[in-house]
Amino acid sequence: MEHKGVTIWFTGLSGAGKTTISREVEARLRAQGYKVEVLDGDVVRTHLTKGLGYSKEDRDENIRRIGFVAHLLTRNGVIVIVSAISPYRAIRDEIRAKIGNFVEVYVNAPLEVCEARDVKGLYKKARAGEIKMFTGIDDPYEPPLNPEIECRTDIETLEESVEKVLRGLEKLGYISLPVVS
């Protein structure tokens, strides 16, 4: 299937639901025949950006590298799904400007909800001082000012969030959804 490439950039706190939503969006797009690639922040850190730390400079470099790969794929007609905390607004805006076909999805859940989910135990370690510069605890998260799509995972179901993303992509002209009869 030929279609326009786009980067769908999921940003939000750890535990907000970025990976969960992005995996379901990926599955739905693949089922419709779209060319899709996923760049998950956790996976990218073990391969593409191995050795980078968590200073602001290293986080920015991590996002630049993800953005570089996303740009290459996007310009070649691939729908790229990026799931990365990407805490700093300026670097997200820089990547947006480079890629062009860019849809920012703010996966919004309050810090206390993300901490309650804490599937990896990271918030607990950060609160105990075992992890330094943890986003949302002792390092800031700068929410998007004007994301194309916002998913409120504290009050929406997974299905509602996924539908919101797919409908948003359709409205922006990146995909065509099948007619439901």
For residue 140, give the DSSP letter: -
83 is catalytic: no
Burial classification of residue 44, based on how many CB atoms lie within 10 Å of its CB (0-12 exposed, 13-18 middle, 19 or more buried): buried
Looking at residue 120, its amino acid is K
Of 153, 55, 175, give the one whose Cα is nearest residue 103: 175
Furthest CA-CA distance within the chain: 54
Instruction: Decide: 147 and 106 in contact? Cβ < 8 Å.
Output: yes
d(CA 115, CA 40): 20
Residue from 14, 22, 83, 86 carrying the catalytic annotation: 86
Give me 114's structure tokens.
């993300």
Q: How far is CA 97 from CA 48, 55, 173, 175, in A?
A: 22, 23, 19, 21
Of 165, 140, 141, give the one whose Cα is nearest residue 151: 165
Q: Which residues are catalytic?
A: 86
